[in-house]
Structure 1
Amino acid sequence: MDTVLANKKIYKPQLSAVKKAAERISNVAVKTPLGQSFTYSSKFSANVMLKREDLQQVRSYKIRGAFNKISSLPKEQINKGVICASAGNHAQGVAFACNKLQAKGVIYMPITTPRQKVEQTKMFGGDWVEVVLKGDTFDDSYKSAIKHGDKHGLVFIHPFDDEKVIEGQGTIGLEILEQAEEPIDYVFAPLGGGGLLAGLSSMFKELSPNTKIIGVEPEGAPSMTASLKEGKLTELKSIERFVDGAAVQKVGSRNFEICRENLHKVITIAEGKICQTILDLYNQDAIVVEPAGAMAISALDFFAEEIKGKNVVCIVSGSNNDITRTAEIKERALLYAGLKHYFVVSFPQRAGALKDFVEKVLGPNDDITHFEYSKKHHRENAPAVVGIELNDPADFDPLVARMKTKNFYGEYLNDKPNLFQYLV
């Protein structure tokens, strides 16, 4: 444990404080449904229930913590204004709260934030908020917001490392326990900065201590996993930003202490697996979710044997997904499933070479989805970048074997990230 943390009392959300938060937010936060998912209950032979936080007014649970924090401030501070940094969902919660409480708010968001989240933030905040796009990650925006807030005397509304925010998110735990008809064996919840799990797990530890709480992180931003491994709060040097609602370089200090005591397990999920869950939820259940909103459900496959016959809750945390990301989501899902592959193919510079490749190399169910070719003069062969979609992952090895036998094979690109990033 860090020396600083060892010398001070560790904060733990109290049931009375979370109940007070529930009263404070009762007029703005919806008591979202907890309902059985027929699809996932059948798939895993369990009673899988979805807590639909995507149905909040701001389409994520972040309204709970943001409103609880801002509404608890003294009137003079509300009049002076607040500031926050967010990758999107917290920003919308703060914007909504500012509009409702008539508090001036400055909201810093990463430049990389999907446009849909930026526009929604402006819409919810109206004339009461100013949106500033700064930095490539949440952590960049956070540093800029802190500097601006200190300069102008604005209270910083932290998206996850704040007691009132944690208590606001903890109201989800109370609701689940009120709504569930039977004892809950497992709760799966997304893990970014840790505010949701810090609040939720504290309520379960007090009211349902036998429930196992599972935190689910994106593989490209495993900040809690790194901290637990090191035994101290650890900042990642770089992260994959695709799961923007959960991509942070360092979890909250309060949340780290709470989560390492309360959570049964923390696991990481590949971004491609999350993308497949997004597509499945839409195609099978007509549920639209953002990447962070799909993380909890994505973890079920890795606990299939463990959860059989159990009562399981998955937190669907948000639905702020930009439709322009659909092509990338599909691509990542195919790559994860081993169905999409990119190659540098060496084509002989002669008539009929492409026809030979299609007829003699591709399998009957293989499809070319990407093709870039530039003819080179005075050379026998010229390279082409070719994307191939398979019908079955087992078709990959035979495809490569035929490419080599027919002298078309150049280089496989999927496992070369420096080249591959230009294609996906």
Structure 2
Amino acid sequence: MQTEPIYFPSLETIKQAAKNLEGVAYKTPLNKNNNLSKQFDANILFKREDLQVVRSYKIRGAYNKMSSLTSDEKQRGIVCASAGNHAQGVALSCKLLQIKGTIFMPSPTPNQKINQVKMFGEDFIDVIIQGDTFDDAFNASKLECDLKNKTFIHPFNDKKVIEGQATVGLEILDQTNEKIDYVFVPIGGGGLSAGLSSVFKYLSPETKIIGVEPEGAPSMLTSFKNKKNTSLDTIDSFVDGAAVKKVGDLNFAICQQNLTKVITVPEGKICQTILDLYNKDAIVVEPAGALSIAALDFFADEIKGKNVVCIVSGSNNDITRTAEIKERALLYANLKHYFIIKFPQRAGALKEFVAEILGPNDDITHFEYTKKSNRVNGSAVVGLELKSSADLAPLIIKMKERNFFGVYLNDKPELFDFLV
């Protein structure tokens, strides 16, 4: 049986996509980041797709696809599924092209993204919240599409979408005369990585393209290891812009040929990167937008003295997630710790714990006392923030010596999730 040849976007179709996007998508800046350039002794450049018209690169693929529809397809309307950024690109494209659209979004999608979708699409779109993951919303949208004979606008597994996202690569090469040694690109479904890597394959084949996924949703890396596109059973949806159970078939085939390497980054590391970018550079990014930058630490030796581009893919972050972002960052840095503490049922026990067991710089951030279960001890779930990760071991020793220690919750995820 003859297999279908692998689709690769041509340079001609990518350049045509760039023409289609003129006056619609911004040509976003390619800026040097001085802080990271100094830290890594390299020339670190940010491709600022967070400054795009819909605050992510997704307008490129969505508009390029939708502008290619026939008059009949436009008349019948479109359907899409998205965790936020693709939905915004589709919504704006609906308004610009005057196409009626129905957009399915999973329930964990930040309200900020949902509101932005409605703002960009105005009366041309309807938003339906469906399911817990992108894949749930995807399945519901496909059913809607089949029932009502509408055109489905896939967020990544589509030739026109890939060609639209590829224009990011064209712009990068047009914006610098220097040789680019590395490009770090975030991977969700793979549309951006497939398109961008194709451009570099044509015009700068010596550039190493590193794909970066969240540790909790390693769909491309798993597929690379299995040498076939593989669906994950479960994923961590925290990095909502890059958390899919399965990458696109078209995208996997392209990335398998074009990417130098695929790595994963822990969600806690991503959160610390978000905080660092805000505090040091006044740059607001969403979790997926921080992926490429969070990967730099793992390549510190390789990129020294090199020209490196990080794709900052989006800035659609919900401010209500700030507490969770800080919490995940502290847990990853080994500075936030949760315990079940056994307090002796006697006067002065809490004072003893605070004054004689905790260090002078330790901070109690969570305290939930439960009714005493016996006459000897009463338990409390206590969260502590330390100034140094090295303070943890001596703290536990002191708790055990004075019989306060009950259970360390950080390394017991099921109990942690239940109690904290």
The TM tier, using the shorter chain, reads over 0.9
Q: Which residue of 2 aligns with 1:136?
A: 132
Matched with 2:236 is 240
Aligned equivalent of 1:351: 347
Match of 1:154 among 143, 150, 153: 150
Q: Number of aligned pairs? A: 420
Letter of the 1:171 partner, please give it. Answer: T
Question: Aligned equivalents of 1:180 and 1:213: distance in 2?
Answer: 17
For each residue in 1:394-413, what CA deviation from the matched residue of structure 2 results, as whole angstroms up to 9, or x when unmatched? 11111111111111000000
What corresponds to 1:12 in structure 2?
Answer: 8
Matched letter for residue 160 of structure 2:
K
Query: Counterpart of 1:279?
Result: 275
Question: What secondary structure is seen at the aligned counterpart in 1 of 2:293?
Answer: helix
Contact persistence 2:9–2:163 (CA under 8 A): yes
Match of 2:302 in 1: 306
Residue 363 of structure 1 deviates from its aligned partner by: 1.1
Q: Give the superposition deviation at 1:377.
A: 6.1
Offset of 1:43 from its aligned partner? 0.6
Counterpart secondary structure, 1:20: helix
Residue 82 of structure 2 aligns with which residue?
86
SS of residue matched to 2:199: helix
Amino acid at match of 1:111: S
- Aligned counterpart, 2:411: 415
Distance of 2:371 and 2:213 partners within structure 1: 45
Structure 2 unaligned segments of length 5 or more: list them: none
- Given that 1:337 and 1:393 are in contact with CA atoms closer than 8 Å, whether structure 2 keeps it comes out as yes
**Unmatched segments (≥5 aa) in structure 1:** none
AA partner of residue 418 (structure 1): E
Query: Which of 214, 225, 236 is 1:229 aligned to?
Result: 225
Give the aligned partner of residue 377 of structure 2. Answer: 381
Which of 194, 198, 209 is equivalent to 2:194?
A: 198
Equivalent residue number for residue 178 of structure 1: 174
Q: Is the contact between residue 288 and residue 321 of structure 1 (CA under 8 Å) also seen in structure 2?
A: yes
Question: Which residue type is aligned with residue 47 of structure 1?
Answer: N
Stretches of 4+ aligned residues off by more than 4 angstroms: none
Superposition deviation, residue 376 in structure 1: 1.6
Q: Tell me whether 1:212 sits opposite 2:229 in the alignment.
A: no
SS at match of 1:421: helix
For residue 282 of structure 1, what is the amino acid of its counterpart?
A: Y
**Is residue 2:321 matched to residue 1:325?**
yes
Determine if contact 2:271/2:326 at 8 Å carries over to the other structure: yes
CA contact (8 A) 2:381 2:419 kept: no
TM-score by length of 2: 0.99
Q: Tell me, yes or no, if structure 1 residue 23 matches structure 2 residue 19.
A: yes
1:44-94 alpha-carbon deviations (Å, 9 max, x no partner): 000000000000110000000000000011122112111000000000000
1:399 and 2:395 aligned:
yes
Shift of 1:181: 2.3
Secondary structure in 2 aligned to 1:318? coil
Measure, in 2, the Cα distance between the counterparts of 1:32 and 1:376: 60
Provide the C-alpha distance between the structure 2 equivalents of 1:324 and 1:300, rounded to a whole number of angstroms: 27
Output the TM-score relative to the length of structure 1.
0.98
Mapped to 1, the partners of 2:30 and 2:347 lie a distance apart of: 62
1:423 Cα deviation from its structure 2 partner? 5.5
CA contact (8 A) 2:285 2:314 kept: yes
User: Are 1:349 and 1:375, in contact at CA under 8 Å, matched by a contact in 2?
Assistant: no
CA–CA distance in 2 between the matches of 1:285 and 1:65? 29
Identity %: 66
Q: Deviations over 1:331-370 (max 9, x none)?
A: 0000000000000000001110001111121112111110
2-side partners of 1:404 and 1:108: how far apart?
52
Q: Deviations over 1:297-342 (max 9, x none)?
A: 0000000010000000000000000000000000000000000000
| 1:165 aligned residue (150, 161, 186) | 161
Cα distance, 1:379 vs. partner?
2.0
* Separation of aligned partners in 1, 2:195 and 2:330: 35
Deviating more after overlay: 66-75 vs 370-379? 370-379
Cα gap change, 1:142 to 1:377, in 2 (>3 Å): closer
Q: Distance in 2 between matches of 1:423 and 1:195?
A: 39
Return the offset for 1:374: 2.0
| Cα distance in structure 2, aligned partners of 1:249 and 1:421 | 22
Amino acid at match of 1:376: K
1:120 maps to which residue?
A: 116
SS class of match (1:158): coil
Does residue 337 (structure 1) correspond to residue 317 (structure 2)? The answer is: no
Per-residue deviation, 1:378: 4.4
Cα distance in 2 between the residues matched to 1:51 and 1:422: 40
State the alpha-carbon separation in 2 of the partners of residues 194 and 333 from structure 1: 26
Distance 1:177 1:423, change over 3 A: farther
Letter paired with 1:42: K
Partners of 1:67 and 1:404 lie apart in 2 by 61
